[in-house]
């Protein structure tokens, strides 16, 4: 039963890497989202709010479609976590087919590692916020040097730079929850093994 649960949850976690994890907001408005995979590649998906772009206040944000070549940074820990989850799916499948306790144990270890790495990255902050702030700072400085020809208020630009934030979306929480299940099964197995050793 545990082998089936491990396989389904590890596979779910892998799929969830390709769903939105982060909502990138600027001055309180959503400008883009990033999937787990996109946090690795530095890409993003422009939000619906960014599609209509009034010319008077347009800021060439790197999250717009025409700026997709610009990177929002690479989350190395998430890349390692993705590899761990992919390997966990393989071992979970092998455990399901062969019934090997070793494969079940490896599935739990890999999911625990992936869960830890994602939490560390989340705690340290995803690269998108820093990269977007730096990009906005450079673009605002460049446009304000054009004698106001772009119609951009310097005060607005400064406020935009200060109000960049990344908000976690349900996809991130679901990924953590999916990884937590095999991790708990693995931890429970370790505790049972320790109890048996103490009883001898």
- In this predicted model, what pLDDT tens digit does every residue of 67-91 receive, in sequence order? 455 688 899 999 999 999 999 999 9
Q: What pLDDT score does 194 carry?
A: 83
Residues 47-69, mean pLDDT to the nearest whole number = 54
Can you tell me the distance from the alpha carbon of 96 to that of 91, in angstroms, rounded to the nearest whole number? 9
Q: What pLDDT score does 198 carry?
A: 75
| Maximum Cα interatomic distance, the chain, rounded to a whole number of Å | 82
- Residue 112 clears pLDDT 60, i.e. is over it: yes
Can you tell me the distance from the alpha carbon of 44 to that of 23, in angstroms, rounded to the nearest whole number? 10
For the chain, the average pLDDT equals 83
Residues 173-183, mean pLDDT to the nearest whole number = 97
Structure tokens at 67: 């700026």
Say what percent of the chain tops pLDDT 70: 74
Can you tell me the distance from the alpha carbon of 131 to that of 166, in angstroms, rounded to the nearest whole number? 12
Can you tell me the distance from the alpha carbon of 160 to that of 35, in angstroms, rounded to the nearest whole number? 23
- Residue 200 clears pLDDT 90, i.e. is over it: no
Give residue 50's pLDDT band: very low, low, confident or very high (50, 70, 90): low
Can you tell me the distance from the alpha carbon of 86 to that of 16, in angstroms, rounded to the nearest whole number? 12
What does the DSSP 8-state code read for residue 143? Answer: H
Residues 9-29, mean pLDDT to the nearest whole number = 94
CA distances, 43 to each of 37, 144, 161 (Å): 9, 27, 20
Give residue 195's pLDDT band: very low, low, confident or very high (50, 70, 90): confident
pTM for this model (two decimals): 0.78
Give residue 159's pLDDT band: very low, low, confident or very high (50, 70, 90): very low
CA distances, 97 to each of 1, 84, 91, 104, 178 (Å): 12, 20, 10, 11, 21
Q: What pLDDT score does 86 carry?
A: 98
Give the H or E element holding residue 15: helix 2-16
Q: What pLDDT score does 110 carry?
A: 97
Structure tokens at 194: 């320790």
- Residue 136 clears pLDDT 90, i.e. is over it: no
Can you tell me the distance from the alpha carbon of 116 to that of 110, in angstroms, rounded to the nearest whole number? 10
The arrangement of strands across the sheet holding 45-46 comes to 45-46, 29-35, 20-26, 164-168
């Amino acid at each position: 039963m545990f082998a089936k649960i491990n396989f389904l949850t590890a596979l779910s976690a892998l799929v969830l890497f390709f769903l939105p994890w982060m909502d990138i907001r600027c001055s309180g408005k959503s400008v883009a989202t990033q999937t787990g995979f996109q946090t690795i590649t530095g890409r993003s998906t422009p939000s619906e709010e960014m599609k209509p772009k009034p010319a008077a206040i347009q800021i060439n944000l790197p999250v717009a479609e025409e700026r997709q070549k610009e990177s929002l940074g690479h989350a190395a820990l998430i890349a390692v976590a993705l590899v761990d989850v992919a390997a966990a799916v393989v071992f979970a499948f092998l455990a399901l087919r062969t019934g090997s306790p070793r494969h079940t144990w490896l599935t739990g270890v890999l999911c625990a590692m992936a869960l830890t790495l994602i939490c560390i990255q989340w705690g340290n902050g995803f690269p998108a916020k820093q990269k977007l702030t730096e990009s906005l700072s450079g673009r605002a400085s460049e446009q304000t040097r054009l004698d106001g020809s772009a119609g951009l208020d310097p005060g607005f630009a400064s406020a935009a730079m200060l109000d960049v934030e990344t908000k976690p979306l349900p996809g991130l929480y679901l990924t953590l929850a999916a990884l937590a299940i095999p991790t708990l099964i693995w931890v429970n197995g370790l505790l049972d093994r320790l109890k048996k050793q103490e009883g001898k």
